[in-house]
Amino acid sequence: MTLAAGRWPAAVPPAGAAPQRSGTLVVYRMELAKLSRQIRVRTIAVCAVIGPFLVVAGFHVQNATPGDTAFGQWVHTSGFAIPMVILGFAAQWIIPGLTALVAGDIFSAEDHFGTWKTVLTRSRSRSQFFTGKFLAAVSYGLALAVILIVTDLLAGLLAGTQPVVALGGQLVPAGHAATLEVLSYASEIPPLLAFTAVGIMLSVLTRSSVAGIGGVIALTFVLQVVTLIDLPGWLQVALPSTPFLAWHGFWEQPAFCTAFWWGLVTSAAWFVVCGGVSWWVFRRRTIGVAA
């Protein structure tokens, strides 16, 4: 190490230095760059891409059908049934968990690695860090949703484009079925973002990735159990997992969107409350240093 002072860059930035970009955008880009280098995120992306095709292959080599799930009995007669079977399972278990892997870790990882005291010594405010990280987690969730929409539909199309029997018993032609499937997958985005906010809140509050990720997964499990109980209607609507089932209304005869709109309100409420709590706590917290 030479460290010769003469080789240090001048203390004052030279004239014409690049103008500063928005701090939030800078943090957002930094988070995306870090996420893209994480093995876990790459693994999730690969699984999301190839998983649906593996499911199609699995159905293809067996005669049995998952008859106890929505669209399950039609997986051998229409390729449009397969994405809906995947959606029915993923919405309950996979999507919250995959969301939590990033959202439940994105703040607490900095605590785990002790890097808050590195990044917060740069000229970026806590608000910018919070917003940038929050947006990065949301972007990850949206990207995950888009990948699932595209790959699930493509995998289904490979299996066939025959009309599919909907939940109301009506036969839905291919073109309309594709539209309904896209809408169904899109309806998962609001609750996905709500679970993202829950994961972020746990990550901020506990400063632990285990609690952040595990907490969301545990919540998902609890909510699945709770739905087996005959809850009051208002409480059922208030659960963050209920909007994951809103797509059922699109496939009924006649179709209805009430569940979707209520799901939108519920998801927005969870998103705002959890995000707000996270913001309030993060802005005021002390970065851990020994006295």
Partner 1 sequence: MFACRTPGLPTVSGVTEPALAVEARGMTKWYGETTALDAVDLLVRPGIIHGVLGPNGAGKTTLLAALFGLVTPEEGTLRLFGRSRAESGAGWLDGVGGFVETPRFYPYLTGRQNLSVLAGLDGGDAAGLVDGAIELVGLDAAASRKRVRGYSLGMRQRLGLAAAVLRRPRLLILDEPANGMDPAGIRDLRTALRQLARGGRTIILSSHDMGQVEEICDSVTVLHRGRVVFTGGLDVMRGDAPDGTWRLFTSDDEAALTEAGAADEVKAARRDEGGLTVHAAQDKLDAYVLALGRQGIAVRGLEPDVTALESLFFQLTRDAEAPAPEETP
Which stretch of DSSP H or E encloses residue 164?
strand 164-165
For position 118 contacting partner 1 by CB under 8 A, the verdict is yes
Query: Taking CB under 8 A as the rule, which mask of x and - marks residues 27-46 in contact with partner 1?
Result: x-xx--xx--xxx-------
The CB-of-98 to partner 1 minimum distance in angstroms stands at 19
- 20/63 with CB nearer partner 1: 20
Contacts of 247 (CB under 8 A, 6+ apart): 87, 183, 184, 185, 187, 188, 260
| Stretch near partner 1 under the rule CB under 8 A, chosen from 7-15, 55-63, 89-97, 210-218 | 7-15
Half-sphere exposure of 190 (CA within 13 A, CB side): 25
Q: Is 123 exposed, middle or buried (0-12, 13-18, 19+ CB in 10 A)?
A: exposed
Is residue 60 involved in binding partner 1 (CB under 8 A)?
no
15 lies in the site for partner 1, by CB under 8 A: no
Cβ 122 to partner 1 shortest distance, Å:
4
281 binds partner 1 (CB under 8 A): no
Q: Is 121 in the site for partner 1 (CB under 8 A)?
A: yes
Task: Name all contacts of 215-218 with Cβ < 8 Å and 24+ positions apart.
Answer: 215/100, 215/104, 216/96, 216/97, 216/99, 216/100, 216/103, 216/104, 217/96, 217/97, 217/100
Single out the residue of 21, 228, 233, 254 in contact with partner 1 (rule: CB under 8 A).
Answer: 21
Is 135 among the residues that bind partner 1 (CB under 8 A)? no
**Which of 6, 67, 169, 233 is close enough to bind partner 1 by CB under 8 A?**
6
User: Residue from 46, 50, 119, 272 that binds partner 1 (CB under 8 A)?
Assistant: 119
Residue with tokens 């020994």: 290
For residue 231, the minimal CB distance to partner 1 (Å) is 41
Is 229 a residue that touches partner 1 (CB under 8 A)? no
Closer residue to partner 1 in complex, CB, 62/121: 121
The separation between CA 258 and the C-alpha centre of its own chain, rounded to angstroms, equals 23
Q: Is 269 in the site for partner 1 (CB under 8 A)?
A: no
Nearest alpha carbon to residue 177 among 48, 39, 291, 83: 83
Contact residues for partner 1, defined by CB under 8 A:
1-14, 17-18, 20-21, 23, 26-27, 29-30, 33-34, 37-39, 113-125, 128, 284, 286-287, 289-291
